């Protein structure tokens, strides 16, 4: 029998603690009372529910919510944190990878998104490293997303399973 009371229990404890700390004017850290904290609490509840009940369908949603909460908190407070949208793709890939470890499904999607996120995050450095080839490959460098679109159409419409 699955533990169905874990998720609502953690939500009530987390949000209740959030509002109690706010009412008592206790500052845990700068920027604590924001929407990022609330999505972090909801994501944590989803992750705990998934792992305690051995129902791994909510791992991706939990990692996305926890990751987005951490990302947006860190982007506002830490100067070294990457403020790039590639981090959001990286968090989604991480969620898919964690789900793969439990369900053994979705490795290709997680690795694909992980490689795309690394490419997005380090795109400028990658292009600078190809600086000596830039004149000859400027067309390829400019239209590389067309390769992604073509691969997507191939996977959707042409490849038969």
Q: Are 100 and 107 in contact (CB under 8 A)?
A: yes
CA-nearest of 71, 148, 144 to 112 is 148
158 contacts: CB under 8 Å, gap ≥ 6: none
Tens of pLDDT, residue by residue over 12-35, are 888 888 888 888 888 776 677 888
User: Which letter does DSSP use for residue 57 in this model?
Assistant: G
Rounded distance between C-alpha atoms, residue 128 and residue 44, angstroms: 39
pLDDT value of position 140:
66
pLDDT for 1: 39
The pair phi, psi for residue 130, each rounded to 5°, is: -95, 15
- Which of 49, 50, 42, 30 has its CA nearest to residue 67? 42
Q: How would you write the pLDDT of the chain (161 residues) with one tens digit per residue?
A: 355 667 888 888 888 888 888 888 887 766 778 888 899 999 999 999 888 888 888 899 999 999 999 999 888 888 898 888 889 999 999 999 999 999 998 899 999 999 989 888 887 777 677 666 656 566 666 777 888 888 888 888 887 65
What is d(CA 47, CA 62) in angstroms, rounded to the nearest whole number? 5
Token pair 């419409």 is at which residue? 157
């Amino acid at each position: 029998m699955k533990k169905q009371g874990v998720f609502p229990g953690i939500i009530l404890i987390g949000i209740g603690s959030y509002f109690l700390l706010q009412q008592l004017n206790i500052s845990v850290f700068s920027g604590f009372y924001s929407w990022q904290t609330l999505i972090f609490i909801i994501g944590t509840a989803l992750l705990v529910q998934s792992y305690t009940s051995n129902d791994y369908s909510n791992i991706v949603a939990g990692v996305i919510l926890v990751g987005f909460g951490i990302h947006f908190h860190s982007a506002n407070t830490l100067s070294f944190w990457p403020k790039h949208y590639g981090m959001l793709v990286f968090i989604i890939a991480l969620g898919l990878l964690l789900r793969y470890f439990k369900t053994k499904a979705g490795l290709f999607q997680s690795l694909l998104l992980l490689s795309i996120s690394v490419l997005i995050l380090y795109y400028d450095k990658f292009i600078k490293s190809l600086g000596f080839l830039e004149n000859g490959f400027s067309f390829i460098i400019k239209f590389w997303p067309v390769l992604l679109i073509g691969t997507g159409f191939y996977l959707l419409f042409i490849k038969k399973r």
